[in-house]
Amino acid sequence: MADIKVAPDDVKADMTIDCKGLSCPMPLLKTKKAIQKLQSGQILEVLGTDPGSRNDIPGWCERAGHEYLGEKQDQGFIRFYVKKG
């Protein structure tokens, strides 16, 4: 695992996308597309299973001006949270 940033307990998503079972680069591409539909300050939840997303999503957030809020481990998948910048 990478250095993991844990998302706050009270984080609430405005939109959720399912990227479970997908491998690189599809989770990031779907994230990139979905965030276009949100307003600034809204939160996107990405459900994924690819360990590579732990690098890809935070790295992309930094470049694209979004805030990576962290992740939560669930049963058999991970919830990633991105706040649109």
Partner 1 sequence: MSVLKEKIKGVYEGLCAKNWSPLMGGILLAFFVVLLETWYRPWGIVGGLRNWADWFFYGLGLYEDEPPHPLWFSSSILDIGLVWGAFISAALAREFGIRVPPKIEFIKAIVAGILMGIGSALAMGCNVGGFYMAVNNLAANGLVMMIGLIFGVILGVKYLYWELEHFPSAGGFEISFRKINPILGVIALIGLLLATKAYFGSEADDGATLGGCLILTAAIGYTMHRSRFCMVNALREPFMTGEAVMGKALAISLILSAIGIAILKYNEFRPEMAYVTPTFGIGALLGGFIFGAAMVVAGGCGSGSLWRVAEGQVKLVVVVIFFALTNSLVRHLFAEYEVIESGYLGKAIFMPEYLGYAGTLFLIALAVIVWYIVIDWNEDTNKLVLEM
* # binding residues, partner 1 (CB under 8 A): 32
Task: Respond yes or no: is residue 19 known to be catalytic.
Answer: no
Rounded Cα–Cα distance for residues 69 and 24 (Å)? 21
By the rule CB under 8 A, 79 interacts with partner 1: no
> Does residue 76 touch partner 1 according to CB under 8 A?
yes
Using DSSP bridges, classify how beta strands 43-48 and 15-19 pair: parallel, antiparallel or unpaired. parallel
Contact residues toward partner 1 (CB under 8 A) are: 1-3, 17-26, 28-30, 32-33, 36, 49-52, 54-55, 59-60, 63-64, 75-77
